[in-house]
Amino acid sequence: MMVGPLRRITAAIGLLALIPITWLLATGSLTPEEAAIRAIIVAVVVVVIGNVLRSILTRMLRHVERREGDRREAAEWREDVRMNDGG
């Protein structure tokens, strides 16, 4: 299954965020239940951040595509005007 780069980056950040929890669990500073709760919180936060970033990126790209389409239409219109004036 193909996964986009944004989802891969989000997953990598989530794994990096689990390292301190793993360390605290290994040293005995956390119980397994506390570590599980913290890991669930990290997972939820990473998913939410990933969705927010995806929606922001999608909006930005749609805005750029729309502007490019408007520019292309304006250029075609100018070309049509030039051809009609010259002929």
pLDDT tens track, the chain, 87 positions:
577 888 899 989 999 999 999 999 999 999 999 999 999 999 999 999 999 999 998 898 888 777 777 777 777 777 777 777 755
Angle at 27 between CA 41 and CA 8, to 5 degrees: 40
DSSP, collapsed to helix, strand or coil, labels residue 66 as helix
For residue 1, the model assigns a pLDDT of 58
